[in-house]
């Protein structure tokens, strides 16, 4: 953890025909600048927790690093408002930035219309029970959400339990934090299940493909482009997961009965 995840405040609550002041909290959103080799790469609107992991995961999922061996130094600067990363090599700063459909103004440097990922090959299979129980475990592990609401959660699972969990005001940031935690802790991401509380859009599928994840699960819906990419790259895409049901949008061959 780095900064605070919640901000105390007082609001007016209306209950039937009565109102009263209520002491509560809101999720923290801040702008954090990511510097690479002394140059500003991007500013991220995020929850200021696990910022080092967010930086690592973002760089990895954007294809700018291949692992921790590429990183010489990583530190939080500017009262927690910036992350400084120095690499073992010079980096040509990407010039084409895409504003994604993610909340809090997500950003990516990859043009998905011109991205050619290798297909994700895996013998992993999942059962309906695994899918629903793992997403329930994600909800139970979302501590910031239970306290404040208004944040997304992401997790990596090995099929039986959650390996790591991250939360952020941006669903794409939460996924990048998961990737960063896995890099730092040496957790493999291939042949694993990636879970998200938020909508699955094209950049989320791109990140999953980069991590080599064969199964991507969400509580909500995918976009049309995310379905097309998942089908093209061999990723199993599951949405609208509830206690007794879900929808399979791509890769149905990986879902088997109990």
Could you tell me the pLDDT band of residue 101, with boundaries at 50, 70 and 90? very low
d(CA 21, CA 12): 4
CA nearest neighbour of 56 among 31, 81, 73: 73
Summarize pLDDT for 218-250 with one digit per residue, the tens. Answer: 999 999 999 999 999 999 999 999 988 999 999
Kind of pairing, strands 215-218 and 71-77? unpaired
Maximal CA-CA distance, the chain: 64
Q: What percent of the chain has pLDDT over 70?
A: 90
- Which is catalytic among the residues 23, 46, 77, 103? 103
Q: What is the rounded CA–CA span in Å between residue 218 and residue 98?
A: 23
Average pLDDT value for residue range 36-50: 95
Q: Tokens representing 224?
A: 């049309």
The residue assigned the tokens 């002491």 is: 23
What are the residues whose beta carbons fall under 8 Å from the beta carbon of 203, sequence distance 6 or more? 98, 100, 101, 102, 106, 108, 110, 112, 172
Q: What is the DSSP letter of 159?
A: S
User: 3-state class of 171 per DSSP?
Assistant: helix
Domains, the chain: 30-112 (3.10.20.10), 128-254 (3.40.140.10)
What global pTM score does this model have?
A: 0.91
Give yes or no: 182 in active site: no
């Amino acid at each position: 953890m780095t900064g605070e995840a919640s901000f105390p405040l007082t609001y007016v609550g209306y209950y039937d025909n009565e109102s009263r002041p209520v002491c509560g909290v809101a999720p923290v959103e801040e702008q954090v600048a990511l510097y690479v080799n002394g140059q500003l790469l991007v500013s991220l609107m995020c929850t200021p927790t696990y910022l080092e992991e967010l930086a690592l995961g973002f760089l990895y999922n954007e294809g700018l690093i291949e692992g921790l061996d590429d990183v010489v130094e990583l530190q939080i600067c500017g009262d927690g408002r910036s992350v400084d990363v120095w690499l073992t090599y010079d980096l040509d700063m990407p010039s084409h930035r895409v504003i994604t459909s993610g909340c809090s103004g997500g950003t990516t440097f990859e043009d998905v219309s011109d991205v050619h990922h290798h297909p994700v090959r895996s013998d992993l299979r999942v059962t309906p029970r695994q899918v629903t129980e793992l997403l329930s475990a994600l909800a139970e592990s979302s501590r910031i959400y239970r306290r404040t609401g208004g944040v997304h959660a992401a997790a990596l699972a090995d099929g039986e339990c959650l390996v790591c969990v991250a939360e952020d005001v941006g669903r794409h940031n939460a996924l990048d934090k998961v990737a960063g935690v896995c890099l730092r802790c040496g957790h493999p991401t291939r042949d694993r299940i990636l879970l998200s509380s938020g909508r699955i859009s094209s950049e989320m599928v791109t990140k999953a493909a980069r991590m080599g994840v064969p199964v991507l699960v969400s509580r909500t819906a995918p976009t049309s482009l995310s379905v097309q990419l998942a089908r093209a790259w061999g990723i199993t895409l599951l949405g609208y997961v509830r206690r007794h049901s879900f929808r399979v949008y791509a890769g149905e061959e990986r879902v088997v009965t109990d």
